[in-house]
Amino acid sequence: MSELPTTGREWHLVARPHGWPTPEDFALREAAVPEPGPGQILVRNTHMSVDPYMRGRMNDVKSYVPPFQLDQPMDGGAVGRVLASNAEGFTVGDHVLHGLGWREYAVLDGKRAVQVDPELAPLSAYLGVLGMPGLTAYAGLLEVTSFKEGDAVFVSGAAGAVGSLVGQIAKLKGASRVIGSAGSDEKVKLLLEEYGFDAAFNYKTGPVAEQLKEAAPDGIDVYFDNVGGEHLEAAINSLNVHGRATICGMIAQYNATEPSPAPRNLAMVIGKRLRLQGLLVSDHAALQPQFVQEVAGWIRSGELKYVETVVDGIDNAAEAFLGLLRGENTGKMIVALGD
């Protein structure tokens, strides 16, 4: 057996951002890698995820997940290869999904890892289309909004890891019309030509409400919100009576230092009898087997497509996260750490 590593690099949060994070808020540091104890495994991470929700964890506020601690390693989704195991059911060479990303090596209890099959799908897919973003899209559309065949659906942030899947799943499930917004003409083209959206627009080129009304003249029945602010206000305007909205994320406000004025039309929720419901993917873990079976089938058949933006090297992980917040990714943002 090859000699086990004794040190590895990991990213620490060293300052709490005010507004937009900067590279100075992060530090890549060398740390000791302990040997796995009873019931534990040592994993060499090969891919790690950067996700919008991580911005909220950089604030020292009470939330549904604890904040990152200063001068401590951050965490997040990762996949990797087992280098040593003292846990039943795991052997050297197994590939696993776990929650200790932002580092080269992770030591964790076997109970906190799930084996994944690199023959079934590329390892990075377990952080995206077959992972947390995929389940978020699946559960948020089908369970939270109570989607039904014939619904007209609007998705904001539609070229991202979650939004691109929401639109495609809606089409596969019989939506009458799927509209998406994105932040560049290139992304709009991707939505229309690759993902099969019926209409799409660049929210940076004009008022969202006007562009949405043009794209959906008969209104929408379902809104999947990844952006908040002006997008949510526009969706409330366009939602039909008894419309439903999944509030998944509000990336437009994550780095704001002042409260957002929008939506200014919440009173319309009353007359239209709208339902706006927040989404935490952890509430829908029971859907996981059904989700993996159905989505994996769509991937094999070519009915569902996905795109990844891959940044190489742990040295570039913080910049990948900052790029995600700036909208530089198409689809899932992944950091490849090597074999």
Given a cut of 90, whether residue 295 has pLDDT beyond it is: yes
Q: In the chain, where does DSSP find H-type helix? A: 53-56, 132-139, 163-172, 185-193, 208-215, 230-238, 268-272, 288-301, 317-325
- Interval 206-215: pLDDT, tens: 999 999 999 9
d(CA 207, CA 326): 20
Q: Of 28-32, 251-255, 308-312, where does mean pLDDT reach its minimum?
A: 251-255
Of the candidates 237, 246, 247, 228, the one whose C-alpha atom is nearest the C-alpha of residue 272 is 237
Amino acid at position 137, single letter: A
Q: How far is CA 237 from CA 142, 230, 253, in A?
A: 22, 11, 20
Decide: 276 and 133 in contact? Cβ < 8 Å: no
Q: What is the mean pLDDT of the chain?
A: 95
Residue 242 CA: distances (Å) to CA of 221, 271, 276, 339? 8, 9, 10, 50
Residue of 40, 58, 142 whose CA lies nearest to 102: 58
Token pair for residue 251?
A: 């990336």
pLDDT at 2: 65
- How do residues 48-75 score in pLDDT, each as one tens digit? 999 999 999 999 999 888 999 999 999 9
Q: Locate all alpha helices (DSSP H) within 23-120, ordered by sequence.
A: 53-56
Structure tokens at 334: 């992944």
Could you check whether the bond before residue 21 is cis, i.e. omega within 30 degrees of 0?
no
Region class of 290: left (phi > 0), else alpha (psi between -120 and 50), else beta: alpha
DSSP 318: H
Domains of the chain from N-terminus onward: 7-128 (3.90.180.10), 132-282 (3.40.50.720)
Q: Which residue has the higher pLDDT, 36 or 121?
A: 36
Q: What is the 3-state secondary structure (H, E, C) of 97-132?
A: EECECCECEEEEEHHHCEECCCCCCCHHHHHCCCCH
The DSSP symbol for 328 reads: -
Average the pLDDT over 274-282 and give the result: 97
Query: Tell me, what amino acid is at 73?
Result: P
Average of pLDDT values for 128-156? Answer: 97
